[in-house]
């Protein structure tokens, strides 16, 4: 339970994001980020753009010249959280920081557009996910006393030319975005509307960014996209326009398996992860690339949303339960030690008790290592929001959610127990939250272990003998460095 709560908590909690200050910068930026890792990475891009405008980051709201909140629209609760934060900014502005300017970024900005300015008087600036390069101009308008809005979605913006300023970094793990937007149109999901159509980033700029991270001694890179398996570089533009590409572009196009292979080969000492894989776009060539390289972590986030064919169809997921199970079988055949995680939605429109049982049964079949589970939250503007009835009562959603959380808990424990007695490689990422004398690190399967610090340092790859576990965490003893150092 602790593990799941932590995950859910991390997903909705905002934090002031900070980095080292520069002497020449005179203005102060307070920035926080809600929602997915992509948003977090976007906030790092925004910080890089504003660094050039003379802004240092701060954790103190009362001293900020500019407050930016990078928002999430995925569920209603995410939006309510942001509205509460705006009230807090408002109080600080009234009480102690009259001149501070407030901007909203991200998915809520894109969804609500100018309406934000009417609904929340505190807001001076509304900027959608593809318009961050316009921030310097927009800020100029704000300083001249006008509200400023740019929510234009782009055909080819990937921010490939911007080197993100790493915020709240542990100096060991970092995210690199490889695609933006999503073309999948799952009926419940607001992302295609707020982040636009799918486009991929130039592989050259991806490799350059990774090189710069490796030069700074980062040890693990997570490649990010709404749907990474659908990565396709053919010279720029929207993925849907690939049909119109020239023969030459088609012949030299690079897909996700190739990109992943290039990353693993170019940086043999760096660990790679990626997220998220959509089962409909995941091909076994990616699994073969994973099998080939020790430095690609054996962990797949493979959201299924439901175990019922009727629900998958209503959600416009392009596969059946049986196809998903076959995919999972094939993955385990190629990489037996693979760890898998899911996203599940309970209580989607029309979900019956039998549909719910199908979900529990699918979970039993896969026995996921980790899970991210949600009650369906109707989103305005989506197909489900417009055309389907949100007809599963709150109490039923709540009970079903608890049932899948409990089952996931059992499976997580089953999975962590499989590590007992083994000696595995862990990358030290930080100090354990519970014990300052212990490090925490993750193995290739993304399972967290805690162990006594000894003489080991942040960023070391160490071999740990696993001696004990809960459903969320392994406990062990370091027996030495791994050969990856």
Q: Which residues bind ligand F3S (CB under 6 A)?
A: 182, 184-186, 189, 191-192, 226-227, 278
Output the smallest distance, CB 231 to ligand SAH, in A.
Answer: 13
| Stretch (H or E) spanning 110 | helix 106-112
Task: Give 276 or 445: the residue with its C-beta nearer to ligand SAH.
Answer: 276
Measured from the Cβ of residue 178, the count of other Cβ atoms closer than 10 Å reads 25
Torsion of CA 77, 223, 232, 135, to 10 degrees: 60
Residue 345 binding target from ligand F3S, ligand SAH, none, CB below 5 to 8 Å by type: ligand SAH
* Cβ closest to ligand F3S, residue 234 vs residue 374: 374
User: What is the contact mask toward ligand SAH in residues 313 to 352, using x (rule: CB under 6 A)?
Assistant: ------------------------------x-x-------
Q: Which long-range contacts (CB under 8 A, 24 or more apart) does 390-396 make?
A: 390/349, 391/349, 391/350, 392/346, 392/347, 392/348, 392/349, 392/350, 392/351, 396/347
CB of 49 to ligand SAH, least distance (A): 23
**192 touches, from ligand SAH, ligand F3S, none (C-beta below 5 to 8 Å by class):** ligand F3S
Query: 179 - beta bridge partners?
Result: 200
* Nearest-approach distance from CB 150 to ligand F3S, in angstroms: 22
Residue 468, strand partner residues: 475
DSSP state of 26: -
Which H/E stretch holds residue 103? Answer: strand 101-105
Please give, one letter per residue, the 3-state secondary structure of 357-424.
HHHHHHHHHHCCCEEEEEECCCCCCCHHHHHCCCCCCHHHHHHHHHHHHHHHHHHHHHHHHCCCCCEE
**Residues contacting 481, CB < 8 A, separation 6+:** 456, 460, 461, 462, 463
- Shortest gap between Cβ of 285 and ligand F3S (angstroms)? 20
Whole-angstrom CA distances from 279 to 213, 296, 361, 404 are 30, 19, 18, 20
Identity of the residue, 29 or 190, whose beta carbon is nearer to ligand F3S in the bound complex: 190
β-pair type (438-442, 448-452): antiparallel
Residue 192 or 196 with smaller CB distance to ligand F3S:
192
Closest separation between CB of residue 5 and ligand SAH, Å? 17
Q: Does 189 bind ligand SAH (CB under 6 A)?
A: yes
Q: Please, which residue, 58 or 276, has the CB nearer to ligand SAH?
A: 276
Name the binder of 128 from ligand F3S, ligand SAH, none, CB < 5-8 A by kind. Answer: none
**226/444 with CB nearer ligand F3S:** 226
- Selection from ligand SAH, ligand F3S, none that 376 binds (CB < 5 to 8 A by kind) is ligand SAH
Q: Where does residue 53 fall: left (phi above 0), alpha (psi -120 to 50 degrees), or beta otherwise?
A: alpha
Residue 231 binds ligand SAH (CB under 6 A) = no
11 sits near ligand SAH (criterion: CB under 6 A): no
* Rounded (to 5) percent helix, strand, coil in the chain: 40, 20, 40
Vertex 288: Cα angle to 287 and 294 (nearest 5): 90
Binders of ligand SAH among residues 363 to 382 (CB under 6 A) are 374, 376-377, 379
**Residue 28 or 75 with smaller CB distance to ligand SAH:** 75
Residue of the chain from 227, 444, 445, 447 that contacts ligand SAH (CB under 6 A) = 227
Q: How far is the CB of 32 from ligand SAH (least distance, A)?
A: 19
Q: Which is nearer to ligand F3S, 134 or 183 (CB)?
A: 183
Q: Which is nearer to ligand SAH, 58 or 305 (CB)?
A: 305
In a 3-state reduction of DSSP, which class is residue 35?
coil
Rounded CA separation 267/272 (Å): 9
> Does 299 help bind ligand SAH (rule: CB under 6 A)?
no
45 binds ligand SAH (CB under 6 A): no
String marking each residue 190-219 x if it binds ligand SAH according to CB under 6 A: -x----------------------------
Min CB(303)–ligand SAH separation in Å: 4
Per CB under 6 A, the list member of 226, 270, 341, 445 interacting with ligand SAH is 226
Q: Using CB under 6 A as the criterion, which residues of the chain lie in contact with ligand SAH when the complex forms?
A: 74-75, 188-189, 191, 226-227, 276, 303, 305, 343, 345, 374, 376-377, 379
């Amino acid at each position: 339970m602790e593990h799941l709560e932590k995950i859910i908590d991390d997903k909705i909690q905002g934090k002031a994001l900070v980095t080292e200050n520069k002497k020449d910068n005179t203005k102060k930026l307070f920035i926080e980020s809600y929602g997915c890792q992509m948003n977090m990475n976007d906030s790092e891009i925004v910080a890089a753009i504003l660094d050039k405008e003379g802004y240092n980051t701060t954790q103190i709201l009362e001293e900020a010249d500019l407050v930016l909140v990078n928002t999430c629209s995925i569920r209603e609760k995410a939006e309510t959280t942001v509205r509460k934060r705006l009230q807090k900014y408002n109080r600080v502005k009234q009480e102690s920081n009259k001149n501070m300017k407030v901007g909203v970024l991200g998915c809520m900005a894109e969804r609500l557009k100018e309406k934000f300015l009417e609904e929340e008087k505190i807001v001076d600036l509304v900027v959608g996910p593809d318009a961050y390069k316009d921030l310097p101009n927009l800020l100029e308008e704000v300083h001249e006393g006008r509200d400023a809005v740019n929510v234009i979605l782009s055909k080819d913006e990937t921010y490939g030319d911007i080197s993100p300023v790493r915020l709240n970094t542990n100096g060991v793990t970092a995210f690199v975005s490889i695609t933006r937007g999503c073309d999948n149109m799952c009926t419940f999901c607001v992302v295609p509307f707020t982040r636009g159509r799918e486009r991929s980033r130039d592989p050259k700029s991806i490799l350059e960014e990774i090189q710069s991270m490796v030069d700074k001694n980062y040890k693990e890179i997570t490649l990010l996209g709404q749907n990474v398996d659908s990565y396709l570089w053919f010279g720029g533009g929207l993925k849907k326009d690939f049909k119109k590409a020239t023969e030459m572009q088609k012949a030299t196009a690079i897909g996700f398996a190739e990109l992943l292979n290039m990353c693993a080969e170019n940086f043999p000492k760096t660990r790679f992860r990626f997220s998220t894989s959509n089962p409909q776009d995941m091909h076994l060539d990616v699994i073969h690339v994973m099998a080939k390289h020790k430095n690609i972590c054996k962990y797949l986030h493979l959201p299924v949303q439901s175990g019922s064919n009727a629900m998958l169809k209503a959600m416009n997921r392009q596969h059946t339960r049986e196809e998903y199970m076959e995919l999972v079988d094939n993955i385990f055949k190629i990489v037996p030690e693979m760890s898998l995680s899911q996203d599940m939605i309970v209580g989607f429109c029309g979900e019956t008790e039998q549909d719910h049982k199908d979900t529990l049964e699918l979970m039993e079949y896969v026995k996921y290592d980790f899970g991210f589970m949600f009650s369906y939250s109707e989103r305005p503007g989506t197909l489900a929001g417009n055309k389907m009835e949100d007809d599963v009562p709150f109490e039923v959603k709540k009970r079903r959610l608890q049932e899948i959380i409990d089952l996931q808990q059992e499976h997580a424990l089953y999975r962590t127990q499989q590590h007992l007695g083994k000696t595995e490689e862990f990358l030290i990422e930080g100090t354990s939250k519970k014990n300052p004398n212990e490090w925490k690190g993750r193995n290739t399967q993304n399972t967290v272990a805690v162990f006594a610090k000894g003489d080991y340092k942040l960023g070391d790859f160490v071999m740990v003998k696993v001696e004990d576990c809960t459903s969320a965490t392994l406990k062990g003893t370091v027996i030495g460095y791994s050969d990856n150092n």
